[in-house]
Structure 1
Amino acid sequence: MTDGTTPRVVAVNRGTEQTTDAPPTGPGPRHRALDAWVGRWINQGHMIDEDGSPGATITTSDVYEWGPGGVFLVHSAYGRIGEFDVGGTEIIGYDETSGAYRSHFFDSQGNVTVSRLVADGDTWTYQGDTTRSTVEFSDGHRVQTVLHERTDDGTTYRPSMRVTLTKVT
């Protein structure tokens, strides 16, 4: 090409385009920070009742793995909350354009939750419209301790679930 552009895939859903942008060099350090999540986990805990006491038992199997290209995590979860079968699929990634981590969670009840993630050392915080979660990694990233909270008014949060995920592989 004489105009300095070359064809390449810029975004898979757009096909090939002419661009002067340099091709991506692969996952960067912000993507690699997500390595802490990769693996198979057993998730055990409980709901938190209105009075703050432990409620229904939660048991799930969670798998976090790299998607194609190694820039997004795919998280699948299957299990039970009390007597109910639950599950979902989450996509977690770092968006270079916005400079933020994002999570899109599609649950077995048909809900979609979009959250912003903030990493601070071994602590990750999810913030959605009506939920937030604080994830603390410990034991060399082999344990996740998680407090889930919810809000009905957008201001006041109350604990909804407390779980511990233990990496099995």
Structure 2
Amino acid sequence: MPETTESARVVAVAAGVEQTDQAAAVRDGRHQALEVLIGKWINEGHTIGTAEIPAAAILTSDVYEWAPGGFFVLHSAFGRIGETAVGGVEMIGVHEDAYRSTFYDSFGNVHHSRLEIDGDVLRWTGERTRSTVTLTDGGRTQVVRHEASPDGVNWAPSMDVILHKVA
């Protein structure tokens, strides 16, 4: 009987059991760096008003938790911007030298971003939105500046929020 390095195991849940010589995925420091997000947060702040659009208060609840297996972070958010109910679900995972984030909002939009972590600063950058998070208070507070761009070149502040970890 010929020797083989392949084994039958689950490689991808949607595929079931298959023969593979692919190395099993292993969590590393890049995954552990996402731990700063894990928890329940209360998000308070405001949109940045313009000459045409007044500022609106923001109050949301955000929960970041590990998805089964510990390779991805699941972020669910719900609350209000002004009088409008808002929410969404985000998945964050390791991608090359940074992270990939996909956010599905309560209006049917899908937002893709690159997330970079540099010490106590996290930066999400998408085509038309970006945000910079500064962690303070031993990681229990996130001070966030959101920006938006109509063309991906010219950026303007869109929201300022502070998240406080409550659990």
Category of TM-score, reference length = shorter chain = over 0.9
- Please say which of residues 5-14 and 133-142 is displaced more in the overlay: 5-14
Aligned: 1:132 with 2:130: yes
Q: 2:101 matched to which residue of 1?
A: 103
TM (normalized to structure 2)? 0.93
Aligned: 1:17 with 2:18: yes
The separation in 1 between residues aligned to 2:14 and 2:57, in whole angstroms, is 41
Aligned: 1:80 with 2:80: yes
The separation in 1 between residues aligned to 2:25 and 2:119, in whole angstroms, is 26
Mapping of residues 149-160 of structure 1, within 5 Å: 149-160=147-158
For structure 2, the residue ranges without an aligned partner over 5 or more in a row are none
The separation in 2 between residues aligned to 1:60 and 1:92, in whole angstroms, is 19
The separation in 2 between residues aligned to 1:58 and 1:158, in whole angstroms, is 18
**SS of residue matched to 1:68:** coil
Equivalent pairs: percent with the same residue? 53
Q: 2:94 matched to which residue of 1?
A: 94
Aligned-pair CA distance for 1:54: 7.4
Aligned: 1:61 with 2:50: no
Q: 2:139 matched to which residue of 1?
A: 141
The answer to whether the Cα contact below 8 Å between 1:49 and 1:55 also exists between their aligned partners in 2 is yes
Matching residue's letter, 2:24? P
The answer to whether the Cα contact below 8 Å between 1:46 and 1:54 also exists between their aligned partners in 2 is no
Q: 2:48 matched to which residue of 1?
A: 48
The answer to whether the Cα contact below 8 Å between 2:123 and 2:133 also exists between their aligned partners in 1 is yes
The answer to whether the Cα contact below 8 Å between 2:98 and 2:117 also exists between their aligned partners in 1 is no
The answer to whether the Cα contact below 8 Å between 2:65 and 2:73 also exists between their aligned partners in 1 is yes
Aligned CA RMSD, in angstroms, stands at 1.6
The separation in 2 between residues aligned to 1:28 and 1:54, in whole angstroms, is 45
Q: 1:161 matched to which residue of 2?
A: 159
**SS of residue matched to 1:110:** coil
Matching residue's letter, 1:19? T
Q: 1:6 matched to which residue of 2?
A: 7
Aligned-pair CA distance for 1:50: 2.1
Per-residue CA deviations over 1:41-72 (Å, capped at 9, x if unaligned) read 10000000125x97100000111111100111
Per-residue CA deviations over 1:72-127 (Å, capped at 9, x if unaligned) read 111111100001010111111113xx232011101101111010001111101001
The separation in 2 between residues aligned to 1:84 and 1:54, in whole angstroms, is 14
Equivalent of 1:117 in 108, 115, 118: 115
The size of the alignment, in residue pairs, is: 165
Matching residue's letter, 2:82? G
Matching residue's letter, 1:118? E
